[in-house]
Structure 1
Amino acid sequence: MSNLMNCKPLMKRLSILVLAAFAFTACLDTLPEDFTSPSTWYKNQKELEASLASVYDPLRDCYSVYLSVEFSQGSDECFSKESTPKLVPYYYNYDAGNNSIKMVWQELYKGIDNANVLLENADNASCDAEVIRRIKGEALFLRAYYHFLLTAYWGDVPLRLESTKSAEDVHKPRTASAEVYRRVIADMADACDMVADIRTLGFGGRVSKQAVKGILARVCLNAAGRLDEPEYYAEARKWAWSLMEEGVCALNPDYSDVFIKLMQDEYDIRESIFEVECYGNVESTEMKETGQFVAYYTPMYSKQDYCVDEKTKKSIARGRGVFYVTPQLYDSYDDGDLRRDWTIMPYMYKNEAVLEQIPYNEPFRFRWPGKFRREYEINLPVYSWGNSTNYPLLRYSDVLLMFAEADNMVNNGSTPESLEAVNQVRRRAFGFDPLTPLAEVDMKAMSQAEFLEYIQAERARELAFESHRRLDLMRWGIFLERMHEIGEELAAIPLKVIDEGTGKSIDNPIFTQSGSGFPMNSNPSGPEMMARPFRNVDQKHLLMPIPELEMSVNKAIGTNNPGWN
């Protein structure tokens, strides 16, 4: 086993020219003028590991901000407080020329092509056969995962199982999403027998058997919902149960500690099973592969006490404070649920320069997300845009909830096994031992419809801001309904209410928090501004548009998705 596997910076971009010199995406229609030939590479384990790093690269490139923020928001979790809408996916004001959509498409196909080249040439290396098998397993899984993301967001997409070798190879027709799902599931199942156990790896930044099983459950749930093929529920249940039955993974007893560990670059392989590796910060001169999602999901504040620019004497570390959490998410938590005041900030900061906590007025509902808190960062100095916090792709609580959902669908209602799975998540939420039954907290038997409704709400409470919600709403078939419902509820919140004590008209306390900057009297008004992205959602947004560039280059791609022609 390579000693590269034991340190966090493993997946940073290597400062050598590897496959990027000759592997190009499906959106290119010209051949490179010079390149590194596969016949002169893939000679030893070091070169295989370097090539594998290029297969991992799109995870960070896509999840730094595109998939972690721009694609995954535009759900019922939160909304942008920007007064002027940007042309980003979460506003639903984009078209087929949108740069974020193009970048994700290109990065995912770049990763697929790099995986294909590696799979085609790995056996040429002179090293241990088990090393080759493991590396091929990781590449096979990542190729499948990238195809899953493509079909989840775009539907029918080109299925690329061979590397790009000539300009003609860019002309590839779309494959029906049902076939893409079948191939993804088959390849992931094969990869499961090839990759290392997470206990051997010692960290969650690389594909492990446990990661494969958990992601397979997710893929199967998406296939069941998006394809309307209920037989995939049994597959989802099988893979989630296989992971649970191992006893390798378990809930961290402290919900907040999961995210404190992420902020402090500490691995927790029992709970955080698969993570996108990030490294460094955007201001340093050292090699850095940062993530930007933390800046979006944190309040607008600075840490002046330890991060001051010597020239200007101003702090340069801050959150961007882009989103407010929806009142619906805040109110979905029961009293005593400790996740609420961690996922959603229970306080604001005095101002952008002073890290003094000011508790929110209790009625105030338009609060910042709080899951990724920059005051816990230990890699100093801390800067504004990018940092080293890993993005969690799979946590054990997600596996428990996926198992419960699949089991409910297979057995037409809750079972003791599915109830125990959700109750582990629920017990921790209220500060109790996840493994100790507690009558006053535990959920009781429910019908299939009741249990599904509970799981739908529980996934929002447990997994908010972890890039699941939009695709969850899609696979449940309630995306349009839910988005329009939230939009109308937000628009209907009155700016003024009658004070019960005085009988006078006052500002609605749901909006009022000194220093919050909530735009009550903006144009459009605060409620109309909040409702805007939810009202923009249309039938065509069930799928992303195939990027304009791909449509112009790939002559075999056919027509665009409905509503995007």
Structure 2
Amino acid sequence: MTTHKIVKYTAGVLAIAGIAFAFSSCKKYLEVEPISSFGPDYVFSSPANAEKALISAYAQLGGDAGYGIRLSMYYPLDNDEMMGQGATPYPDNERRDIAHYNVQPSNTQLANPYSQLYVGVERANLAIYYIPKMAQYTGGTISEQAQLKRFYGEALALRAQFYFELIKNWGDVPAQWTPSAFESDLFKPKTDRDTIYDRVLNDLAQAETIVPWRTEATQFNNERLSQGAIRALRARIALFRGGYSLRADKTIKRDEANYKKYYQIVRDECNAIIQRTADHNLNSSYQAVWKDFICQHKPEPNGEVLFEVGMSGGSSAVGDSKLGYYNGPRYNGTGNGALTVLPTYFYSFDRNDTRRDVMCAPYDITTGPVLVARTLQSMVDGKFRRDWTGSLTSAAQYFGTNWPMMRYSDVLLMFAEAENELNNGPTAAAITAFERVRKRAFGSSSIGTTPTTKNGFFTALVNERAWELGGEGIRKYDLIRWNLLKAKLDEAKDRMKAMYQSQTYNGETTPVDYSKLPTTLYYKPNQPAPLTFFSPTSYYDATVTPAPAGYTAVSWVGTGINTTILTYFAVNFTQFKSELLPFPQNQIDANPNLKQNPGY
């Protein structure tokens, strides 16, 4: 949670009489007493109450079933940056099966996120339906009208985000655009994702005209959607609408006749944000974004974080997050440390790229606090590390850390990608946007030469997005929309085989010699952060012999990569199936019109 925490409201605030949530397992409305006396006439009688209804929709983004853990740390893995939880038991019909592409419709981690996303759709639909009917929407004071229009725009954007997450994971999904109480049939078949995408892109085009920019809003905090965040969301969805995806006929394809139309949306929306330098800009320090602001529960002052999911704090599975507990370094044996940074991803960073040591944390924490080195094959992600949050209480699992949904660097890279696609090569503006991201990462070091051909620039963007946005739940879905998921998973496996065998990887890209990497590193024990190895370049130097006095050895490049990672990493990935999740079995059982995804 940040300093300006949005208030979380329970379901009771919006228990409007007569509402039945979509896709219920009951075939008739039940005759029940409402758990609250607040009906729609009361809830949508004043801007203050309408805002509470809106916040109840925002609340469906958080918690264990939302971006608190499942949508942020279960569903986006495995990818060529990280592996989800390995080790036994596997298969587990749980999170390990999701990560390693062995998921079945009965998997216990499917039903709640799927249902929560639709609760979010329902609550957004209520706000979208009722807010424009309020007397103050057209007849109130100028302030009331502006406020309610902003709420209406936020609700449109929230519905778009809920549907976007559903489509990313399940493809074509049932779509409903009015509250369930007004629907004659809740057992809906799938709607083609392109139809849903086009609808929400139009909604977002309307929303961005009535929601203020960050600097124009009163009492703004980035747990609420601003115009910049809505434009960025519209750009992101347009990228997916114009990209590749697995279809019902078991093919992976894109709309070849129209895809550039969507890249134009990306270009225009990102450019609009880039022009608003007072609203959104890069922090000069990549590390500071995470260590000083996100992990410290403070708003990033440059507007680099356009939107983040507000978490309530205080140990709530409903509204909080396990960021820093499920992932990242462990403290005195507590925490899962479940997500493993691939050794090949770690070594893909240039040694002068400051993002590597933000994203990759090769240590655990003990009382002091002092750091204890992890092996290369057990390295964890570090953007949400608990030693940056100060959350070193051994019993805690929920640290109130927000999930960043959109950052300004992503806007810059989306803009560069769209410019490259639309112009058959990078324009000067595309190169400038791309290099802004790299220059921050490298500081005074050289960023190298930016490619100027279409294919070369695209390859550079594919790599840059991995380095800049690692661990932010984006990579797997990027690879899907580029139709590169299988190729990149296979490449990661081949690279890791070459690495643990101390060989050269000869793939489609430039050969990489892994033979000179160290098998052992040395660090000083009982030292506080940062963890210091024997020499600044020790990650890249041959093993030092004899062992330096006063240092402790830790295993580095070796066969452990094979036994601890390659045993599990994307082991059951099946092309033309694994790009989508299966629908939860309870939804298939409840809805006779819902057909299972291909291959399940």
Q: Partner residue of 1:155? A: 171
> In 2, are the aligned partners of 1:76 and 1:486 still within 8 Å (CA)?
yes
> In 1, are the aligned partners of 2:353 and 2:442 still within 8 Å (CA)?
yes
SS at match of 2:369: strand
Shift of 1:218: 0.8
CA distance in 1, matches of 2:285, 2:68: 26
Distance 1:196 1:177, change over 3 A: same
Shift of 1:197: 1.8
The amino acid across from 1:462 in the alignment is E
Q: 1:320 aligns with which of 336, 340, 352?
A: 336
> In 2, are the aligned partners of 1:80 and 1:322 still within 8 Å (CA)?
yes
CA distance in 2, matches of 1:20, 1:537: 43
The amino acid across from 2:312 in the alignment is Y
Distance 1:529 1:366, change over 3 A: closer
Q: Does 1:115 align with 2:147?
A: no
CA distance in 1, matches of 2:172, 2:199: 13
Distance 1:152 1:158, change over 3 A: same
Q: Partner residue of 2:56? A: 54
Shift of 1:104: 1.8
Question: More deviation in 508-517 or 389-398?
Answer: 508-517
Shift of 1:382: 7.4
SS at match of 2:571: helix
Unaligned ranges ≥5, structure 2: 137-143, 245-253, 504-514, 523-551
CA distance in 2, matches of 1:218, 1:537: 26
Distance 1:188 1:536, change over 3 A: same
Matches within 5 A, 1:272-283: 272-282=305-315
Shift of 1:125: 4.0
> In 2, are the aligned partners of 1:297 and 1:369 still within 8 Å (CA)?
yes
Matches within 5 A, 1:395-410: 395-410=407-422
Q: Partner residue of 2:363? A: 348
The amino acid across from 2:240 in the alignment is N
Q: Does 1:292 align with 2:290?
A: no
Q: Does 1:214 align with 2:232?
A: yes
Shift of 1:198: 1.6
CA distance in 2, matches of 1:325, 1:389: 21
Distance 1:532 1:381, change over 3 A: closer
Provide the alpha-carbon RMSD of the alignment.
Answer: 3.1
The amino acid across from 1:447 in the alignment is T
Shift of 1:268: 1.1
> In 1, are the aligned partners of 2:85 and 2:99 still within 8 Å (CA)?
no
> In 1, are the aligned partners of 2:154 and 2:207 still within 8 Å (CA)?
yes
The amino acid across from 2:54 in the alignment is L
CA distance in 1, matches of 2:11, 2:22: 20
Report Cα offsets for 1:464-497 as digits up to 9, x if no partner.
Answer: 1111001000000010121123234435554799
Q: Partner residue of 2:569? A: 533
Shift of 1:108: 1.0
Q: Partner residue of 2:592? A: 555
Q: Partner residue of 2:299? A: 267
Shift of 1:521: 8.4
Q: Partner residue of 2:250? A: none
SS at match of 1:533: coil
Shift of 1:39: 3.2
SS at match of 1:392: strand
> In 1, are the aligned partners of 2:153 and 2:210 still within 8 Å (CA)?
yes
Shift of 1:136: 1.0
Report Cα offsets for 1:492-514 as digits up to 9, x if no partner.
Answer: 554799xxxxxxxx9x9558787
Report Cα offsets for 1:301-342 as digits up to 9, x if no partner.
Answer: 24xxxxxxxxxxxx9xx4321122112211111121111111
Distance 1:375 1:7, change over 3 A: closer
Q: Partner residue of 1:544? A: 581
Considering fraction of residues, name the structure with more helix: 1
Q: Partner residue of 2:440? A: 428
Distance 1:380 1:374, change over 3 A: closer
CA distance in 2, matches of 1:90, 1:275: 24
Q: Partner residue of 1:240? A: 270
Q: Partner residue of 1:481? A: 487
Report Cα offsets for 1:524-564 as digits up to 9, x if no partner.
Answer: x843643423231112111111221221222222x211101
> In 2, are the aligned partners of 1:81 and 1:530 still within 8 Å (CA)?
no
> In 2, are the aligned partners of 1:156 and 1:177 still within 8 Å (CA)?
yes
The amino acid across from 1:266 in the alignment is K
SS at match of 2:370: strand
Distance 1:529 1:472, change over 3 A: same
CA distance in 2, matches of 1:329, 1:294: 20
Q: Does 1:143 align with 2:159?
A: yes
CA distance in 1, matches of 2:185, 2:569: 38
The amino acid across from 2:159 in the alignment is R
Matches within 5 A, 1:61-80: 61=63, 62-80=66-84
Question: More deviation in 165-174 or 220-229?
Answer: 165-174
> In 2, are the aligned partners of 1:203 and 1:268 still within 8 Å (CA)?
no
> In 2, are the aligned partners of 1:134 and 1:195 still within 8 Å (CA)?
yes
Shift of 1:393: 0.5
Q: 1:258 aligns with which of 272, 283, 289?
A: 289
Shift of 1:46: 2.2
Report Cα offsets for 1:157-208 as digits up to 9, x if no partner.
Answer: 1121011117853211211111111111111111111222222243210011
SS at match of 2:489: helix
SS at match of 2:188: coil
TM-score w.r.t. length of structure 1: 0.85
Q: Partner residue of 1:31? A: 29
Question: More deviation in 77-86 or 548-557?
Answer: 77-86
CA distance in 2, matches of 1:79, 1:43: 49
SS at match of 1:357: strand
CA distance in 1, matches of 2:354, 2:300: 20
The amino acid across from 2:349 in the alignment is Y
Question: More deviation in 38-47 or 273-282?
Answer: 38-47
Distance 1:517 1:294, change over 3 A: farther
The amino acid across from 1:341 in the alignment is D
CA distance in 2, matches of 1:477, 1:281: 41
Question: More deviation in 34-43 or 409-418?
Answer: 34-43
CA distance in 2, matches of 1:544, 1:366: 27
SS at match of 2:5: helix
CA distance in 2, matches of 1:449, 1:475: 16
Q: Does 1:12 align with 2:24?
A: no
CA distance in 2, matches of 1:329, 1:555: 44
> In 2, are the aligned partners of 1:343 and 1:370 still within 8 Å (CA)?
yes
The amino acid across from 1:257 in the alignment is A
> In 2, are the aligned partners of 1:150 and 1:157 still within 8 Å (CA)?
yes
Q: Does 1:231 align with 2:261?
A: yes
Q: 2:478 aligns with which of 468, 472, 481?
A: 472
Distance 1:81 1:156, change over 3 A: closer
CA distance in 1, matches of 2:459, 2:208: 32
CA distance in 1, matches of 2:372, 2:298: 29
> In 2, are the aligned partners of 1:333 and 1:461 still within 8 Å (CA)?
yes
